[in-house]
Amino acid sequence: MSDSAESVAKAFAQAINQHDPDRLADLMAENHRFIDSLGNAVEGREKMRAGWAGYFRMVPDYSITVEHALADGATVVLLGVAGGTYAPREELKPENQWKTLVAIRAQIDGSKVSEWQVYADNEPMRTLMKKNR
């Protein structure tokens, strides 16, 4: 029995919260596509495994709190809050913490995430990156 689209999307969010690029890759379709909140896309499981590993170094406590999930067939929308601490020199300083509302659209193909698109205001993170240059 295959997992529901919603449970696959939630498992992907959980793997993000566990900072586990290998588990994320296991949940990705080979042709996985990630689209950030500015519309930039990265395609391919291995590129995104490396992308997540890099992001977790930059924001080591990044997490997504899923407050609502809506599913329509293979499409799942997760609504909640994302946040973490920008750590350019591997230091978790309270003044570098940020939080923002997030919406994620996940396209599920069987038991794999074929697309993960994030809609969020990344200005808090961009401000911290500029401040910490």
Tell me, what's the pLDDT at 129? 80
- State the amino acid at position 59 in one-letter form: V
Asked whether residue 22 carries a pLDDT value surpassing 70, the answer given is yes
Residues 87-110 have pLDDT tens digits of: 988 888 999 999 999 999 999 999
Nearest to 59 by CA among 6, 100, 8: 100
For 116, the domain range is 5-131
Task: Please give the mean pLDDT across all residues of the chain.
Answer: 94
Tell me, what's the pLDDT at 19? 97
Give mean pLDDT, residues 72-89. 95
Q: Give the CATH number for residue 106.
A: 3.10.450.50
Euclidean distance between CA atoms 82 and 56, whole angstroms = 13
List the alpha helices (DSSP H) in the chain.
Answer: 5-17, 21-27, 45-58, 123-131
Cβ burial, residue 6 (10 Å; 0-12/13-18/19+): middle
Residues 52-70 have pLDDT tens digits of: 999 999 999 999 999 999 9
Q: Domains in the chain: how many in total? A: 1
Q: List the 75-85 sheet strands across, edge first.
A: 41-43, 28-35, 112-120, 97-109, 75-85, 63-72
Tell me, what's the pLDDT at 3? 64
Cβ burial, residue 113 (10 Å; 0-12/13-18/19+): buried
Asked whether residue 2 carries a pLDDT value surpassing 80, the answer given is no
pTM: 0.92
